Amino acid sequence: MSNKKILRILFVEDLLERQQKLCDMYKDHAWIVAETAMRAIKLISVYDFDLILLDYNLEEETTGLEVAQFIVKSRNAHTKVVLHSMNPDGAKKMLGVITSAEVIPISKLTKKSMYTKRLNEQLNQEQVNWNYVFNGYC
């Protein structure tokens, strides 16, 4: 029997290709995809997540900034957040709200890197050490 913890992950991403890449990275975990800020906010208000991957540009007229603003006041205020936006200005705005977030554009997040190596190591542990995963990456 494995001690591997099943993480509860929220992907806030509207593009199908990116959704698939993220889902492939975390295929052994419990994840939910939200394509809009409103859907993400509803999910964050009722579920506890271990990890939230947040994009800035989303469907509709809202952005990841509204989600970031909600996260810091929610039951998930202490959840690890990765801002994977390819929009540097949007990522900067979200980082201004969630100052403890990691900023890793999805183009780097989904490639083989020190981050993915460390993440894969930690996903096989009972408790994920996020400091180890991100230490020295950014």
pLDDT tens digits, one per residue of 102-119: 898 888 777 766 777 777
User: Is 1 a residue whose pLDDT tops 50?
Assistant: no
Helical segments of the chain, H only: 16-25, 37-46, 64-71, 88-97, 106-109, 114-123, 130-134
Instruction: Tokens for 90, please give them.
Output: 């949007």
The pLDDT value recorded for residue 45 is 98
pLDDT tens digits, one per residue of 13-38: 998 898 888 888 888 888 999 999 99
Going along the chain from its start, the domains and CATH numbers come out as 8-110 (3.40.50.2300)
